[in-house]
Structure 1
Amino acid sequence: MRRRAVEGQRVDRGRGRLVAVTAVALVASVLTPGVAQAAPPANDDFDHAVAISGLPFTHEVDMGEATGAPDDPNPCHQLESGSAWYSFTSTEDVTLRIDVHDTYVETAIFTGARGGLHWEPGTCESGRMTRELDARAGVTYYLKLAASPWQGLVRITAEAVPAPANDHFADRAVVDALPALNRVSLAAATVEAGEPAASCDLNPGSPSVWYTYTPVETEVIALDADSWGGHNAVAAAYTGTSLGDLTEVVCTGYRTLFRAEAGRPLHFQFNAAHATADEVVLGLRLAQALRPDLRVSPEAPSIHDDVRFTDYSDDPEGGGTAIDELDFGDGTVVDPTDGYAYHRYAADGDYTARMTVSGQGGRTATTTRTVSVRTHDVGITGFSAPATARVGTTRPLTVTVADTRYDETVTVTLHRGGSAGYQVVGTLTKPVPARQNRTVAFTFDYAFTAADLAEGTVVFKVVAEPVGVRDALSADNTVIAPAVRVLPARS
């Protein structure tokens, strides 16, 4: 089998692997006056490297007085000069996993001999994360550990990590129900001969594990490839019965949704090129349902309005929605390419508009909205005002209002116009029944004043409005009478 090393380096594994875990714990060192300072650690120099002779392995080293030799290799441009050395030789292919237990150290791994050490690509690590080394049988590896003096006592441990139980397709782990979070370390995983490379995998040949799930019902599944881990994880779903006849259904390097048919087994291949010894997580769950929302504007339309229908649906998965079908309820059905459509109804009535939306993974949802079309329309049919009037007299101003559709309560407002513009001088409110060829009169008694005389002429405007509803046609709701010439009072 072939094993993918860190940062894309392939290593011929063939036999077995080992994981060494290096755990580093800090103990503060205290200098006491009059007491000689501690000597450098026993494995301070390469020639005195401590052998990792058994697993699990534990060793403590005091980095307070660690030094660096002039010929110490430094391929990682490490800032720390104090170092300690360890060696490891295995009789079989193994993987070393290094865990620093929340202590900040710098490490690198080499092969060869002093003066001709060869750095193992991808083994420069700084910080508290676990490390991994794929060790080949018969090869001696040297671990250089560097740390600041204030780190003091450091504890290093190592253990063997077996290959995951579901390393091979034939041994894939069964997922019984959703949701499922499958945590796994890929440090000792392998790549089978004939294993497919997923279409979205930018690091083909990375060690993988396998899972299988058979949905009881047709459903949309959310597949998550360690989306928050930062390990370049890839998950792919396949159908088929063996490695040789797999057909890819979906592939993701983050998170995706796809439709799964009832009773059809799905096989999931999961890898992470940069996971080293860290745990990675394959997530499977049912996708959240769409939340359909249809908005109508205006909310109380008339037969004269172009009504806007807008998709305000929400996708909890963040993928957005599109309108599949929009039925206006009057026999007109459209499939808009945008998230909205316009429609004008031919007659008043209550219509049930129905919208079906779709989202990622084949999810659909339907919602309805009752659209009440009512055409309210009152109009001013006449406005009489005198041609002339004298100061000190009161004259009638009569407005006639017609209504042919619904019984309405109508307010008529009288405005006086002069050099300062229009000002409201009175309102009248009356019921106006819906009757053909009949009108209702609104009469204002207006007293002409010296202020009117100062203007010379006065203009009157009236506005009729149905109470509590919107007038569908406002053009006939306002009338301005001819100007009234104002004369002085009789002496």
Structure 2
Amino acid sequence: MLYSLRSRGRVAVVGVLIAAVAVVAPGVAHAAAPPANDDFDAAVAVTSLPFTTQEDTSAATKTSDDPGWCSGYAAAGSVWFSYTATQDGLLRATTAGSDHRTILSANTGPRGRLQSVADACDYGTDPAITLQVTAGTTYSFLVGGLDAPGGALSFALDAVAPAANDAFAAAEPVTALPFTRQADLSTATAQAGEPDSSCVEDEGIPSVWYSYPASDTARSVTARVEGSEAAVTVYAGNSLPDLTQVTCRRSGSGTAVFRTSPGTGYFLRVTGAHRGYGPVQLVVDEAPPLQPDVSVYPSTPTVFDNAGFSASSWNSIDLPLSGTWDFGDGATAPLGTETVYHRYAADGVYSVTLHATSPDGRTATVTQPVTVTTHDVGIAKFTTPASARQGVSKPISVDVSNTRYAESVTVVLSKRTTDYWAEVGRLTLQVPARATGKVRFPFAYTFTPDDTLAGKVAFRAEVQLQYPVTDAVPADNEAISIATTVKPPASRIVAV
């Protein structure tokens, strides 16, 4: 009985403690409330600039209609800010200083029909966006957690001035060459009436301007840009409506080159595909001298060759080259993109001259000696026996002709076996150059049992010149004889 009372007493005490805890710590099992601007319809209205705020968004939630166009998927949790522009211009929003990675985007329109603002998207650590706004339009800023619903958020919004050379009328002068500038397209806009460019697909993207002043002398100038999807376009003219495109180049596609005309001004427009894609660098410089390379093939032609002449350049701005070839023997030909062929009538050293012009008007003259040397020997006569007997030695002769230069000539004599030509003799002689007459190379060959077994044997004569000399007409350097009939050895009559 006593044990029973004690047990009930313990139960009663425990019940009192549980009730006490419930009174002291109400709501422990419930999560913190979401931020006040957790929903699009409760966005914090920004009424003046600059605007900065800090808030705890760790309990932020997301809705099914949160736009996911910026990062490709909806934020883990989001809060909203809105601002109605009082004038046209540029705004910059940032979440720099937040303790977590965020998504930041700008949108226009009512809920359910939100439209993304061009280039107004960034995400990661301390994202920032710059957007061009129109007076009277309301811009809704979504700030979301990238990896988690939120945390300690810092949000700032302010107006920013456009780039100093954002407008054509404020183009920055190119004062001296080389000229290098880091173009800040994040604070640039697209000015109404800007001329088209064959390198730009969307003429509404941001741009900045540079001016190249008119001068009294003509010169070739290069311009190139470095940066993601950037382009530089060169125009001639003095006012925005009168500009005419001269040339253009995208980043990564080479260098633009243009030839200035005395008294004419030029303008360079630098554009980028999107704001915030990183820095864009412009480099303007004087074009390098034209230095074409001349190629001749073969390098030492003969009078039998159609020598090929071509011109090239390592620099793409030099191409295509135009001009003329002077072959040094009184003949000329226009320079084009294809190889030009020329045959010389006599041996000699010729000064070949190339007069070249680049598309922008730079010129160069290159002179190169071409040596024409023709070595030509040939087999004039190849004499082999019509028939022979095994074991008998027969004479074989090769007559070599030569009308150009004294040569050291080797004649290789071979016979045909079942599978290949086997060398049976080799002789080297000096062969003088003579208009008429030949030099005979004498050989003697003893016919073998294998020849008798085959029944006939054919011979081949090959004429070779000493390296590095090569024969201009190798077609007459080889001759194959009519097969010689080979008989068994004569039978010896034995006396009885």
**Short-chain TM bin:** 0.7 to 0.9
1:21: which partner in 2?
Answer: none
What displacement does 1:399 show? 2.3
After superposition, residues 63-462 of structure 1 pair within 5 angstroms as 63-68=57-62, 74=67, 76=69, 79-80=74-75, 82-88=77-83, 92-99=87-94, 103-110=101-108, 119=115, 121-122=117-118, 125=121, 127-128=123-124, 130-136=128-134, 141-148=139-146, 150=148, 152-186=151-185, 189=188, 196-200=194-198, 202-204=201-203, 208-214=207-213, 218-224=218-224, 226=225, 228-230=227-229, 235-240=233-238, 242-243=239-240, 246-251=243-248, 256-261=256-261, 264-272=264-272, 274-275=274-275, 279-287=279-287, 292-311=292-311, 313-317=312-316, 320-335=319-334, 337-462=336-461
* Contact 1:323–1:355, Cα closer than 8 Å, also in 2: no
Residue 165 (structure 1) shift = 2.3
Indicate the structure whose relative CO is greater, using CA pairs within 8 Å and at least 6 residues apart. Answer: 1
Residue 160 of structure 1 aligns to a residue in which SS? Answer: strand
Superposition deviation, residue 373 in structure 1: 1.3
Partner of 1:335, secondary structure, is strand
Deviations 1:89-124 (A, max 9, x none): 565444212345694414233467xx7986565476
Asked whether 1:44 is paired with 2:38, we answer yes
Partner Cα separation in structure 2 for residue 98 and residue 277 of structure 1:
16
2:195, 2:241 within 8 Å by CA — same for their partners in 1?
A: no
The 1:111/1:187 distance shift into structure 2, 3 A limit, reads farther
Establish whether residue 60 from structure 1 lines up as the match of residue 54 from structure 2.
yes
Q: Distance in 1 between matches of 2:166 and 2:325?
A: 49
Aligned equivalents of 2:190 and 2:208: distance in 1? 9
Whichever residue aligns with residue 198 of structure 1, its letter is: D
CA–CA distance in structure 1, aligned partners of residues 196 and 419 of structure 2: 79
Q: Name whichever of 283-292 and 423-432 sits farther off.
A: 283-292
Identity, % of aligned pairs? 36
Structure 1 SS opposite 2:451: helix
CA distance in 2, matches of 1:392, 1:38: 119
Partner Cα distance (1:277, 1:376) in 2: 65
RMSD between aligned residues: 3.9
Rounded Cα–Cα distance in structure 2 between residues aligned with 1:419 and 1:152: 92
Alpha-carbon distance change, 136 to 292 in structure 1, aligned in 2, over 3 angstroms: closer
What are structure 1's unaligned runs of at least 5 residues? 1-33
Tell me the SS of whatever aligns to 1:65. coil
Separation in structure 2 between the aligned mates of residue 410 and residue 117 of structure 1, nearest angstrom: 93
The 2-side partners of 1:246 and 1:123 are apart by 28
**One-letter code of the match for 1:87?**
S
AA in 1 matched with 2:57: M
> How far apart, in 2, do the equivalents of 1:120 and 1:426 lie?
90
Q: How many Å separate the matches in 1 of 2:430 and 2:302?
A: 21
Alpha-carbon distance between aligned partners in 2 of 1:486 and 1:154, rounded to the nearest angstrom: 108
SS of residue matched to 1:350: strand
Q: What are the superposed Cα offsets for residues 381-432 of structure 1, whole Å, 9 maximum, x if unpaired?
A: 3333344433333333232222221010000011123554532111111111
Aligned length: 450
Equivalent position amino acid for 2:430 in 1: P
- Distance change (3 Å), C-alpha of 1:373 and 1:215: farther
Alpha-carbon displacement from aligned partner over 1:440-463 (angstroms, at most 9, x marks no partner) = 222223222222222333332222
Query: The residue matched to 1:229 in structure 2 has which SS?
Result: coil
Tell me how far 1:196 sits from its aligned partner.
4.8
1:69-105, CA deviations, whole angstroms, 9 ceiling, x for partnerless residues? 68x6648485226211223356544421234569441
CA deviation after TM superposition for structure 1 residue 346, in Å = 0.8
For structure 2, the residue ranges without an aligned partner over 5 or more in a row are 1-27
Q: Is residue 288–residue 317 contact of structure 1 (8 Å, CA) maintained in 2?
A: no
1:275 partner SS = coil
Structure 1 position 343, deviation (Å): 1.6
Tell me the secondary structure at the aligned position of residue 41 of structure 1: coil
Shift of residue 307, structure 1, vs aligned partner? 2.0
| Aligned equivalents of 1:429, 1:290: Cα separation in 2 | 51
* 8 Å contact from structure 1 (residues 410, 465) kept in 2: yes
**Partner in structure 2 of residue 473 of structure 1:** 473
- The C-alpha deviation readout for 1:433-485, integer Å capped at 9, x for no partner, is 11333432222232222222223333322222222222223343333444434
In structure 2, the CA distance between the partners of 1:250 and 1:347, relative to structure 1 (3 Å rule), is same
SS at match of 2:58: helix
Q: TM-score, normalised by structure 2?
A: 0.75
Equivalent residue, structure 1, for 2:16? none
TM-superposed deviation, 1:295: 2.7
What is the identity, as a one-letter code, of the residue corresponding to 1:133? L
CA separation of 1:474 and 1:204: change in aligned 2, threshold 3 A: closer
489 and 261 in structure 1: CA distance in 2 versus 1, 3 angstrom threshold: farther
Contact 1:130 1:278 in 2 (8 A): no
